[in-house]
Amino acid sequence: MSPHVASLAEQLVSHVSQFENCLVAYSGGVDSAVVAKAAQLALGEQAVAVTGVSASLAAGELEAAQRIAAQIGIRHEVLSTDELGNPEYLQNAPDRCFHCKTELYDQLQRMGAARGIRTILNGANADDLSDFRPGTKAASQHAVRSPLAECGFTKATVRLIAQHWGIEAWDKPATPCLSSRVAYGLSITPERLARIDAAERLLRSLGFNTVRVRLHENELARLEVPLDALSRLMDPPTRDTVIRELRRLGFRYVTLDLEGFRSGSFKQLIPAETLTAFSAAGAGRLA
């Protein structure tokens, strides 16, 4: 690995070393894994990675997070979050992530207060600052620090550092919570999340590693896979299996998105005035 990437990794560790101790809001994705590794190198036993678990977490993600934490060498704990107990979260407005992150950071603050840990770190990177991410508002309200963004590291840089450190998640696709698959305005329910999770597990079992099953009104499933996988999904035996199994799960309609996989495709459903208000308020904050 190049000396430049090694220097960036050292910069991140040095940045985190300013803290006496910390809790890392850790999902097991590449961003939070790199922050967790930097915290472990900088603070040792004074750093704890914490994963929030609820019905919105996709199957297998906790086990992957546990495995990567063990590889990193950081102390890892799990806490149960109750965002589904918040009616504002269940309404699934465009600021849904704000309510989810508020629940997580509330719990992390209580955990930290009980242990004398004042600093919470998350995995937000520099690219996130220009995106529509209401969860960043919750981070700001809870004084959560974002070492990657503070160092100016983009997603591409984070992946290079992860590869440099030998973190297995260095090339892992983004895996946001299952609620992100539900169209804004449709209520979030445990049953809907479970159906989406089962549908995505089916598609992965058929060899589609990067996939989203988006839920729209009238129980319509919109499938997103990479463009080079569209023809494979339309192969008659595969297509028939997917249709049959998704209908068995309770989806009435099964459609294939010809634009292919893209993160955050539901953002085009957000009213322009909401996005404008977000931009006017500054990156990561809603007016």
Computed over its alpha carbons, how large is the radius of gyration of the chain? Answer: 19
Query: What CA–CA distances, in Å, run from 122 to 16, 30, 33, 200?
Result: 12, 12, 10, 26
Looking at domain 178-262, which of 3.10.450, 1.25.40, 1.10.30, 3.30.70 is its CATH number? Answer: 3.30.70
Superfamily of domain 3-171 in CATH is HUPs (3.40.50.620)
Domain ranges of the chain: 3-171, 178-262
* Predicted structure pTM score: 0.90
Per-residue tens of pLDDT for the chain, all 287 residues: 689 999 999 999 999 999 999 999 999 999 999 999 999 999 999 999 999 999 999 999 999 999 999 999 999 999 999 999 999 999 999 999 999 999 999 999 999 999 999 999 999 999 988 777 888 999 999 999 999 999 999 999 999 999 999 999 999 888 889 999 999 999 999 999 999 999 999 999 999 999 999 999 999 999 999 999 999 999 999 999 999 999 999 999 999 999 999 876 666 666 555 555 554 444 443 32
Cβ atoms of 253 and 243 closer than 8 Å: no
CB contact set of 175 (below 8 Å; sequence gap of 6+): 27, 29, 58, 61
Query: What CA–CA distances, in Å, run from 30 to 159, 161, 166, 227?
Result: 7, 10, 11, 23
SS3 category, 1: coil
pLDDT of residue 173: 84
Cβ atoms of 123 and 151 closer than 8 Å: no
Query: What CA–CA distances, in Å, run from 244 to 93, 139, 207, 209, 250?
Result: 31, 42, 17, 20, 10
Q: Which helix (H) or strand (E) holds 80?
A: strand 75-80
SS3 category, 169: helix
> How far is 65 from 90, CA to CA, in rounded Å?
26
> How far is 101 from 267, CA to CA, in rounded Å?
18
CB contact set of 151 (below 8 Å; sequence gap of 6+): 8, 11, 12, 15
Closest CA to 105 of 145, 74, 67: 145
